[in-house]
Amino acid sequence: MLQKSSAQCGLDTDLHPPLTPHEAAVESDRCYFCYDAPCTTACPTDIDVPLFIRQIQTDNPSGAAMTILDENILGGMCARVCPTETLCEQACVRQEAENNPVKIGALQRFATDTLQSAKDHPYTRAAESGKQIAVVGAGPAGLACAHRLSMYGHAVTLFDANSKPGGLNEYGIAAYKATDNFAQREVEFVLDIGGIELRQGQALGRDFQLDALAEQFDAVFLGVGLADVNDPGIGTQPLAGVVNAVDFIAELRQAADYSKLDPGKRVVVIGGGMTAIDAAVQSRMLGASDVTLVYRRGAAHMNASQYEQELAQTQGVLIKHFMQPVGFGGDDRGNLSSVEFEHTTLDENNRLIATGERTSLDADRVLIAIGQNMEVQSLSAVSLDMQHNRIVVDSERRTSHPKIFAGGDCVAGGEDLTVTAVQDGKMAAEAIHRQLG
């Protein structure tokens, strides 16, 4: 099958074009500027939403950007990928009154893009403190932590296992949400404050050990994310065409020429979260003729928001509910040919049970997006309290080791969102700063 070029498939085109100055002025004028603003309460990073919208209204987008970035240094990416429809915009008074909230995410992007296009970094470092902190992982949590610590004058060494910094912002976000190399431009913006040494291609547990970091540095922050992908537990032999959705998205994000990628013709995506939606939509954009997303529970149980589910459907993705995979079918050459599912239902206690009824879907590509796990062996040098293979932290993001802090997807109880990872990194930096005195 002839694959579409990047220009044809739309992967390099913004899903939602940015607001023009006139559109931003009109949209900002819709805000009621609530005194006890529910939108601010709903923001995981505590951005003063009415204030920054008022600043846009008064033709001060740079001031609005500083209001945002003071709380969320990755406010530009969060404006693109944050599920505002279930956070600040869902809490907007206009949403309740008119079912038409203020476009807070779009306004945030307008403000931050205005400031980040400036030549000078808006933040300066305090006097050198003489303290050295190791930050492991250059994803949203690690970048937020490193930037805040640098502001306080601490020297930060930022370790990352990948060839590019950015974490999931670089490798795990749909291409149409972060166009024009935005993830790397935002990393450069964060690092421009100075005082942060980036060491790339350095993996915890392979190139350095956690106990050595704890001895060498005054404090350590872990923002290592979730590198392992959950196993569907089907127990069949590997077949060509069965791919982890995370790997598919990462390959796509790093591809120089989308026309060289083969998305398959009949694609089945297994999962119900944002990764599943991103993988399904991008498969369609790349030219797959038939994309079906299958989830074991109902639409209301999916981690992907209703907005994202509807987006997938408008792109031609068929979503099937209450089906779980039980086996893969292959041809005599070891290639995937079908996926077998068993229908499920919920019992009176809301527990998922199998009905025994089975359905088979033809497929030459399966993308598995059923969640990720942490590589716990990388932490083996230090004994940390764990829960469900994630690190246990307190309200200040401190682990059971007094010098080690953690945040983002790798901690127990998190929401696996870019915006919550940023908040974790910020809170840990504040706690480290207080602890170092």
Per residue in 346-366, pLDDT tens? 999 999 999 999 999 999 999
Count the alpha carbons within 13 Å of 100 in the hemisphere toward its beta carbon: 4
Q: Which of 94-108, 113-127, 167-181 has the weakest average pLDDT?
A: 113-127
Q: Given the DSSP bridges, would you call strands 155-160 and 352-362 parallel, antiparallel or unpaired?
A: unpaired
- The CATH number of the domain holding residue 259 is 3.50.50.60
Task: Retrieve residue 342's tokens.
Answer: 């068993």
Q: Count Cβ atoms below 10 Å from residue 355 Cβ, excluding itself.
A: 11
Percent helix / strand / coil, the chain, rounded to 5: 40, 20, 40
Task: Count the domains in the chain.
Answer: 3
Q: Are residues 106 and 170 in the same domain?
A: no
pLDDT of residue 14: 81
Buried residues in 68-82 as b, exposed as e (16+ CB within 10 A): bbbbbbbbbbbbbbb
CATH number at residue 41: 1.10.1060.10
> 55 lies in which domain range?
16-116
Quick check: is 76 in a domain? yes
| CB distance 141 to 227 below 8 Å | no
pLDDT of residue 372: 85
Query: Do 410 and 283 have their domain in common?
Result: no
Q: Cα 9 from chain centroid?
A: 23
Residue type, 291: V
**What is the average per-residue pLDDT within 115-135?**
90
Q: Is residue 180 part of a domain?
A: yes
- In this structure, what token pair is assigned to residue 212? 């050595």
128-158 tens-digit pLDDT: 999 999 999 999 999 999 999 999 999 999 9
- N residues, the chain: 437
287 and 190, same structural domain? no
The CA distance from 416 to 419, in Å, is: 9
pLDDT for 4 equals: 42
Q: 248 with 338, same domain? A: yes
**Is residue 127 a part of any domain in this protein?**
no
Contacts of 235 (CB under 8 A, 6+ apart): none
Global confidence as pTM: 0.93
CB of 106 within 8 A of CB of 85? no
Identity of the amino acid at 364: D
SS3 label, residue 314: helix
Is residue 8 a part of any domain in this protein? no
Instruction: For residues 249 and 364, state if they share a domain.
Output: yes
d(CA 219, CA 432): 7
